[in-house]
């Protein structure tokens, strides 16, 4: 007999919660791909994109926006530099939607450095660096990054996402290697894992004890093992327990990769990321990764580590060898931002104090901010996707731009607004935002308690 039979609605809800909790605390072990079946029937449907189920799902999502009478919150056009404020449709709003964490996108020194690099080297290096794309500014930037992290060298690539995909995808091998990654890892890490063809296991978020157990059990079955984590997790704003992961990596002879997209430039007493936050050694981590699109006010990504690793990647990684070098403007901006980051730690400290202020105020108003602590990412969890969407829409109309994160990006009951705090925000802007957010959310919960995404959309 099934466990759920003859239970009251409340008991069923409790049982469901318990089962979901149990599931979340277990590792996800991906099955080996099944052998494809012979395709039957009318093949022409596979040549009509509009009939692909995923394309039809997108159309249903647009219908949901209409049903809930909210504007589409995506692809809004920001008409200028986005810092604590933005301009959309001619209206000025307080913005919590950019990763301009320490206000360097729009900083005149960073903009000037990008312009100087264009004047000197042009707008494109037009080739892979291994061919004819190398410029002095590339090496200057890589040396700066390596110094910031206390490691021997670094390699810079054209995109943060592509950095993870190509590096993980290239270093790890099918049939021999294992990647164990945090279950809340960014898509770029997961895509890299998939590309590599190595065995993949997602350990429950931030659960290093479970990671230790997994490796105790299976480590011996593989040659190379990569542990992939993030400095700050971009959905929840919590910080990885780096010292524990370093211990585990050493114990199990694994490589450790840390994606610092949301931590570099923001956390730590000098704002130099998770290494700075915990006082770790640069050499404790094998692959330091980050993107230039956030605190570095540019575009691109890096891996920093030992000289041998970097040399190997420079001569072999497909996303570097077969792709153009980072543009002069982007390299110039990232280099200027890196130097400012090191010489003006007060920027990161301001972001940190603004985030603390936001968090304290939000908690005072009873908002659910999840596990966010000491980072610039603060979620406000609404408990259902429709409420998150309606709340973001109400705040937008009320002068605050913040993005909703909805099912399927997160489970429906963890739908949220995600606030990215910057050094430019003022206490008055934070006060106004928390006040409006708390008031609107109570109103929505009171007046729209039954409003939810249609069941058909919730998988
Ligand atoms: C954790 C993490 N890694 C990698 C990336 C990809 O960086 P980019 O957007 O600069 O390509 C992001 C982007 O948001 C991210 O959050």
Cα(291) to centroid(ligand 1), Å: 6
| Inside any domain, residue 15 | no
- Work out the average pLDDT over 90-95: 98
- Select from 282, 313, 343 the last residue of a domain: 343
Task: Judge contact between 405 and 236, C-beta under 8 A.
Answer: no
Cα(217) to centroid(ligand 1), Å: 32
> How far apart are alpha carbons 459 and 454 in whole angstroms?
10
Q: Is the pLDDT of residue 424 over 60?
A: yes
Q: Is the CB of 361 under 6 A from ligand 1?
A: no
Angle at which helices 136-149 and 328-343 pack, to 10 degrees?
30
| Inside any domain, residue 266 | yes
Q: Is the pLDDT of residue 1 over 50?
A: no
- Select from 289, 324, 343 the last residue of a domain: 343
The answer on 337 and 350 residing in a single domain is no
* Segment 323-372, tens digit of pLDDT: 999 999 999 999 999 999 999 999 999 999 999 999 999 999 999 999 99
The token duo for 263 is 């931590």
pLDDT score for 32: 63
Band (pLDDT 50/70/90 cuts) for residue 61 is: confident
Cα(325) to centroid(ligand 1), Å: 18
* Segment 295-311, tens digit of pLDDT: 999 999 999 999 999 99
> How far apart are alpha carbons 80 and 106 in whole angstroms?
9
Q: Is the pLDDT of residue 9 over 60?
A: yes
The answer on 198 and 255 residing in a single domain is yes
Task: Judge contact between 444 and 391, C-beta under 8 A.
Answer: yes
Cα(261) to centroid(ligand 1), Å: 6
- Work out the average pLDDT over 130-153: 98
28-42, 299-313, 381-395, 426-440: which has the minimum mean pLDDT? 28-42
- Work out the average pLDDT over 185-191: 97
- Work out the average pLDDT over 120-137: 97
Strand-pair category, 199-203 with 178-182:
parallel
Torsion of CA 195, 196, 197, 199, to 10 degrees: -120
The answer on 443 and 330 residing in a single domain is no
The answer on 353 and 228 residing in a single domain is no
The answer on 197 and 130 residing in a single domain is yes
Left if phi > 0, otherwise alpha if psi is -120 to 50, otherwise beta: which for 420? beta
> How far apart are alpha carbons 189 and 166 in whole angstroms?
10
The answer on 206 and 194 residing in a single domain is yes
How far does the chain reach from its first CA to its final CA, in angstroms? Answer: 26
- Work out the average pLDDT over 191-216: 98
Residue nearest atom 6 of ligand 1, based on CA coordinates = 161
User: What is the count of structural domains for the chain?
Assistant: 2
Q: Is the CB of 163 under 6 A from ligand 1?
A: no
The answer on 254 and 186 residing in a single domain is yes
Q: Is the pLDDT of residue 4 over 60?
A: no
- Select from 292, 321, 343 the last residue of a domain: 343
Q: What share of the chain is helix, strand, coil (3-state, %, to 5)?
A: 45, 15, 40
Range of the domain at 299: 108-343
| Inside any domain, residue 24 | no
Q: Is the CB of 291 under 6 A from ligand 1?
A: yes
Cα(118) to centroid(ligand 1), Å: 25
> How far apart are alpha carbons 145 and 258 in whole angstroms?
15
| Inside any domain, residue 381 | yes
Cα(190) to centroid(ligand 1), Å: 12
> How far apart are alpha carbons 297 and 344 in whole angstroms?
15
- Work out the average pLDDT over 440-450: 95
| CA 188 to ligand 1: nearest atom | 4
| Inside any domain, residue 296 | yes
CATH number of the domain residue 245 falls in = 3.40.640.10
Q: Is the CB of 210 under 6 A from ligand 1?
A: no
Q: Report the half-sphere exposure of 249 (CA within 13 A, side-chain side).
A: 25
> How far apart are alpha carbons 450 and 198 in whole angstroms?
45
Share of the chain above pLDDT 90, in %: 85
Band (pLDDT 50/70/90 cuts) for residue 135 is: very high
Q: Please state the φ and ψ torsions of residue 32, each to the nearest 5 degrees.
A: -70, 145
| Inside any domain, residue 237 | yes
Band (pLDDT 50/70/90 cuts) for residue 162 is: very high
The answer on 191 and 334 residing in a single domain is yes
Task: Judge contact between 436 and 395, C-beta under 8 A.
Answer: yes
> How far apart are alpha carbons 282 and 278 in whole angstroms?
11
Secondary structure E strands in 4-62? 28-29
Task: Judge contact between 246 and 278, C-beta under 8 A.
Answer: no
| Inside any domain, residue 17 | no
Higher pLDDT pick, 459 / 303: 303
pLDDT score for 2: 45
pLDDT score for 368: 98
Q: Is the pLDDT of residue 31 over 70?
A: no
> How far apart are alpha carbons 38 and 42 in whole angstroms?
13
Q: Is the CB of 186 under 6 A from ligand 1?
A: yes
Q: Please state the φ and ψ torsions of residue 329, each to the nearest 5 degrees.
A: -60, -45
The answer on 246 and 147 residing in a single domain is yes
The answer on 163 and 132 residing in a single domain is yes
pLDDT score for 64: 87
Average pLDDT value for the chain: 94
Angle at which helices 187-196 and 160-171 pack, to 10 degrees?
30
The answer on 430 and 289 residing in a single domain is no
Q: Is the pLDDT of residue 3 over 60?
A: no
The answer on 429 and 368 residing in a single domain is yes
How far apart, in Å, are the Cα atoms of 53 and each of 45, 46, 49, 311, 376? Answer: 11, 10, 9, 44, 37
| Inside any domain, residue 13 | no
Cα(449) to centroid(ligand 1), Å: 35
Q: Is the CB of 160 under 6 A from ligand 1?
A: yes
How far apart, in Å, are the Cα atoms of 81 and each of 78, 89, 98, 269, 399? Answer: 8, 14, 10, 27, 17
Share of the chain above pLDDT 70, in %: 97
The token duo for 328 is 């002069």
The token duo for 42 is 């009318």
Contacts of 161 (CB under 8 A, 6+ apart): 187, 188, 191, 291, 301
> How far apart are alpha carbons 373 and 352 in whole angstroms?
10
Q: Is the pLDDT of residue 180 over 90?
A: yes
Walk across the sheet containing 225-230 and list its strands.
Answer: 28-29, 199-203, 178-182, 225-230, 255-259, 287-291, 301-305, 153-157
């Amino acid at each position: 007999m099934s466990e759920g039979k003859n239970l009251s609605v409340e008991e069923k809800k409790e049982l469901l919660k318990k089962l979901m909790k149990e599931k979340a605390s277990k590792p996800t072990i991906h099955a080996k791909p099944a052998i494809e079946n012979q395709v039957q029937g009318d093949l022409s449907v596979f040549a009509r994109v509009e009939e692909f189920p995923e394309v039809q799902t997108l159309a249903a999502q647009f219908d949901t926006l209409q049903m809930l009478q909210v504007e589409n919150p995506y692809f809004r056009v920001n008409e200028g530099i986005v810092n604590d404020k933005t301009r959309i449709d001619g209206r000025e709003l307080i913005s919590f939607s950019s990763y301009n964490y320490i206000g360097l996108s729009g900083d005149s020194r960073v903009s000037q450095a990008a312009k100087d690099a264009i004047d000197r080297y042009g707008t494109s290096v037009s080739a892979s660096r291994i061919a004819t794309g190398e410029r002095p500014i590339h090496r200057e930037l890589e040396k700066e990054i390596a110094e910031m992290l206390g490691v021997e060298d670094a390699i810079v690539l054209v995109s943060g996402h592509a950095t993870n995909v190509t590096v993980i995808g290239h270093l790890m091998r099918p049939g021999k290697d294992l990647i164990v990654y945090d279950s809340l890892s960014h898509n770029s890490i997961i895509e890299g894992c998939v590309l590599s063809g190595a065995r993949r296991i997602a350990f429950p978020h931030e659960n290093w004890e479970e990671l230790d157990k997994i490796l105790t059990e299976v480590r011996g079955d593989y040659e190379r093992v990569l542990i992939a984590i993030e400095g700050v997790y971009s959905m929840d704003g919590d910080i990885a327990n780096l010292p524990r992961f370093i211990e585990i990596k050493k114990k199990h002879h694994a490589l450790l990769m840390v994606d610092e997209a949301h931590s570099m430039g923001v956390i730590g007493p000098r704002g130099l990321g998770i290494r700075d936050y915990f006082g770790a050694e640069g050499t404790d981590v094998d692959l330091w990764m980050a993107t230039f699109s956030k605190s570095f006010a540019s575009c691109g990504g890096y891996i920093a580590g030992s000289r041998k690793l970097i040399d190997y990647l420079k001569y072999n990684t497909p996303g570097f060898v077969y792709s153009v070098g980072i543009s002069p403007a982007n390299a110039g901006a990232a280099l200027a931002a890196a130097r400012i980051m090191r010489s003006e730690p007060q920027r990161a400290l301001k972001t940190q104090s603004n985030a603390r202020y936001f968090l304290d105020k939000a908690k005072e108003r009873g908002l659910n901010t999840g596990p966010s602590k000491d980072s610039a990412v603060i979620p406000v969890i609404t408990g259902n996707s429709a409420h998150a969407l309606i709340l973001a829409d109400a705040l937008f109309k009320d002068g605050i731009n913040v993005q909703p994160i909805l099912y399927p990006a997160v489970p429906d009951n963890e739908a949220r607004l995600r606030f990215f705090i910057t050094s430019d925000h003022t206490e008055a802007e934070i006060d106004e935002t928390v006040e409006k957010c708390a008031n609107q959310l109570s109103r929505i919960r009171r007046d729209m308690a039954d409003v939810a995404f249609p069941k058909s959309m919730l998988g």
